[in-house]
């Protein structure tokens, strides 16, 4: 492409962390791909992070130990990082840079695409409105996912987020969708966790319609920055060129953020919060905003990144800025997990922002939105009653409050809790919710229009009006 393509250079002037410095190379372009050959003959990939008429900075993907200034040879490829895409990616496992990791030869590709992707013109986006049924009650009813949404799972170390992710992968379905293509990116996962995922993929039979990109904990931090971009380039091809519905799981965004901080500080950049670079938000957005739908194209790209909140702190820059980019969040809760509730989804702080236009008559059921709102209201009362009980003791509570304490227990046992292999239809989920309402004082069912109450509230179980008067305070 350019004059320098293919020519070899030597003479690194400095090495610092994942960064290498070299004197000016004429014609070298910003973000160009570099191949470094070390004295022992092994190669590393790299990318130009900055160029001037005096020097260039190169970010090295892969181990940097053993690199020397004098003997390392560089070859500039004259183009930005690319990933070969094609249908043959399906069924394959790659490393964090898109090189086969499954011992098979490289797949047949139809095209090489820059991994940075391109920005979808907002005027060409299709507003996501198609309900995706995960078979998990708490998600389907209260934080409904739609095709093309980006909805992260906020979790803590040791919670069963991978089981939940796998359950969603196995069960996800939508009208007219034959089964999802799945793109999985492991970002700095410990090897045993990555292995467990790979086993689960094999066991679930999903392997044939998935692509995996694996960057494990001891792979290079710089490589981790391009792994999600490789995964998304593959996903975009499958979604927008092949018309598939693609679910992308990125695990773990927190490791990604740490790598960004590492590379940033090696470059000597001014940090903002907790040492993370000021562009963390924009950088995360350049990943998450690749989810969506496009007018006139049949496929969709739905993203469920997994974010481990460091010390469970949701205000930590990584979950915080993720929440500012994504369209809601599903929050897993340690206390629920301790009580043996799977999936341990904290209902109140969880949210799906694209829900209201993707549910209701013709999509899920006419009562969906009202039922969700009523359930939220009831859960908020449970929360209040529980915190009050913790302060003044259960005996001091009013009858009403005690009733909500009981409601909370029933809610967890009969609605929230479900087996990791249990797929509930949205109808089943909705009728479970209605059965719960039978225990709510009718005067509190303010979010439900009376027509719906008549149609769906189970008879007999409902508290009688006189009883309601008695307990109303």
Ligand X SMILES: Nc1ncnc2c1ncn2[C@@H]1O[C@H](COP(=O)(O)OP(=O)(O)OP(=O)(O)O)[C@@H](O)[C@H]1O
The footprint of ligand X on residues 334-363 (CB under 6 A) is 351, 353
Residue with the CB atom nearest ligand X in the bound state: 353
Q: Decide: is 292 part of the binding site for another protein (CB under 8 A).
A: yes
Provide the residue count of the chain: 473
Question: Which of the ranges 60-68, 84-92, 182-190, 345-353 carries the binding residues for another protein, by CB under 8 A?
Answer: 345-353
Q: For residues 252 and 202, give the distance between their C-alpha atoms in angstroms, rounded to a whole number.
A: 21
Select 383 or 412, whichever has its Cβ closest to another protein. Answer: 383
Angle at 119 between CA 114 and CA 125, to 5 degrees: 130
Q: Toward another protein, which CB reaches closer, 67 or 377?
A: 377
Phi, psi of 154 (to 5 degrees): -90, 125
Which is nearer to ligand X, 353 or 363 (by Cβ)? 353
Helix H or strand E encompassing 384: helix 368-392
Count residues near another protein (CB under 8 A): 84
Is residue 128 a contact point for another protein (CB under 8 A)?
yes
**Which of another protein, ligand X, none interacts with 446 (beta carbon under 5 to 8 A by kind)?**
another protein
Between CA 200 and CA 206 the distance in angstroms is 9
Q: What is the largest CA-CA distance in the chain?
A: 89
Assess contact for 164 and 156: CB atoms under 8 A: no
In the numeric block, the tokens 């001037």 are attached to: 52
Q: If binding is defined by CB under 6 A, does position 373 make contact with ligand X?
A: no
Q: What are phi and psi of 444, to 5 degrees?
A: -90, -5
According to CB under 8 A, which one of 40, 270, 419, 464 is a site residue for another protein?
270
CA distances to 18, 283, 412 from 114, in Å: 22, 16, 47
Chain positions 368 to 407 lying near another protein, rule: CB under 8 A, are 369, 373, 376-377, 380, 383, 388, 391-392, 396, 398
Q: Which of 271, 324, 348, 422 binds ligand X (CB under 6 A)?
A: 324
The whole-angstrom separation of Cα 221 and Cα 317 is: 18
Of 226 and 351, nearer to ligand X (C-beta) is 351
3-state SS string for 330-352: EEECHHHHHCCCCCCEEEEEEEE
CB of 452 to ligand X, least distance (A): 19
Three-state secondary structure of 189-226 = ECHHHHHHHHHHHHHHCCHHHEEEEEEECCCCHHHHHH
Is residue 299 involved in binding another protein (CB under 8 A)?
A: no
Site for another protein contains 104 (CB under 8 A): no
CB of 113 to another protein, least distance (A): 11
- Which parts of 40-79 interact with another protein (CB under 8 A)? 50-53, 79
Q: Is 352 helix (H, G, I), strand (E, B) or coil?
A: strand
Q: In the complex, what is the shortest distance from the CB of residue 470 to another protein, in angstroms, rounded to a whole number?
A: 8
Pairing label, strands 82-85, 111-114: antiparallel
Q: Please identify, using beta-carbon distances, which residue of 14 and 472 lies nearer to another protein.
A: 472
Determine if 469 is a binding residue for another protein (CB under 8 A): yes
Residue from the set 39, 361, 410, 472 that interacts with another protein by CB under 8 A: 472
For residue 124, the partner it binds in another protein, ligand X, none, with Cβ less than 5 to 8 A by kind, is another protein
**Which residue in the block uniquely carries the two structure tokens 């979790």?**
155
Residue 100 contact, options another protein, ligand X, none, Cβ 5-8 Å cut-off depending on partner type = none
CB of 217 to another protein, least distance (A): 27
Whether the CB-CB separation of 134 and 140 falls below 8 Å is answered with yes
Residues that bind ligand X (CB under 6 A): 324, 351, 353
């Amino acid at each position: 492409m350019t004059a320098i393509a293919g020519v070899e250079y030597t003479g690194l002037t400095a090495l610092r962390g994942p960064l290498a410095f070299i004197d000016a190379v004429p014609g070298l372009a910003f973000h160009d791909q570099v191949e470094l050959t070390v004295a022992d003959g092994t190669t590393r990939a790299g990318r130009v992070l900055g160029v001037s008429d005096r020097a260039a900075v190169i970010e090295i993907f892969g181990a940097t130990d053993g690199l020397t200034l004098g003997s390392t040879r560089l070859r500039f490829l004259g183009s930005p990082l690319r990933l070969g895409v094609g249908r043959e990616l399906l069924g394959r496992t790659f490393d964090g840079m898109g090189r086969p990791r499954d011992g098979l030869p490289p797949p047949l590709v139809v095209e090489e695409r820059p991994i940075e992707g391109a920005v979808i013109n907002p005027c060409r986006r299709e507003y996501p409105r198609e309900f995706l049924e995960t078979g998990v009650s708490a998600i389907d009813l209260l934080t409904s996912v739609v095709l093309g949404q980006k909805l992260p799972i906020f979790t803590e170390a040791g919670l069963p987020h991978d089981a939940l992710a796998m359950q969603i992968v196995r069960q996800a379905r939508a009208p007219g969708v034959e089964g999802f293509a799945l793109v999985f990116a492991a970002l700095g996962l410990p090897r045993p966790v990555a292995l467990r995922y790979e086993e689960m993929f094999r066991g679930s039979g999903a392997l044939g319609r998935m692509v995996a990109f694996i960057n494990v904990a001891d792979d290079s931090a710089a490589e981790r920055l391009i792994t999600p971009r490789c995964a998304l380039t593959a996903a975009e091809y499958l979604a927008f060129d092949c018309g598939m519905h693609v679910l992308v799981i990125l695990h773990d965004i927190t490791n990604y953020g740490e790598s960004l901080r590492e590379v940033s500080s090696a470059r000597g950049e001014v940090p903002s919060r907790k040492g993370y670079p000021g562009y963390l938000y924009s950088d995360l957005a350049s990943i998450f905003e690749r989810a969506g739908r496009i007018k006139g194209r049949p496929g969709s790209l739905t993203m469920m990144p997994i974010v481990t909140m460091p010390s469970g702190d949701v205000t930590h820059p990584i979950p915080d800025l993720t929440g500012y980019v994504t369209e809601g969040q599903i929050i897993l809760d340690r206390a629920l997990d301790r009580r043996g509730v799977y999936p341990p989804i904290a209902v109140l702080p969880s949210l799906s922002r694209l829900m209201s236009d993707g549910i209701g008559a013709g999509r899920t059921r006419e009562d969906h939105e009202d039922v969700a709102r009523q359930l939220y209201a009831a859960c908020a009362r449970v929360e209040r009653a529980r915190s009050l009980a913790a302060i003044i003791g259960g005996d001091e509570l009013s009858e009403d409050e005690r009733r909500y304490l009981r409601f909370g227990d029933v809610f967890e046992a009969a609605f929230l809790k479900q087996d990791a292999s249990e797929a509930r239809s949205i109808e089943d989920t909705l009728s479970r919710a209605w059965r719960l309402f039978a225990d709510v004082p009718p005067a509190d069912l303010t979010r439900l229009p009376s027509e719906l109450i008549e149609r769906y509230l189970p008879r007999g179980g409902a508290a009688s009006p006189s009883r309601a008067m008695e307990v109303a305070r």
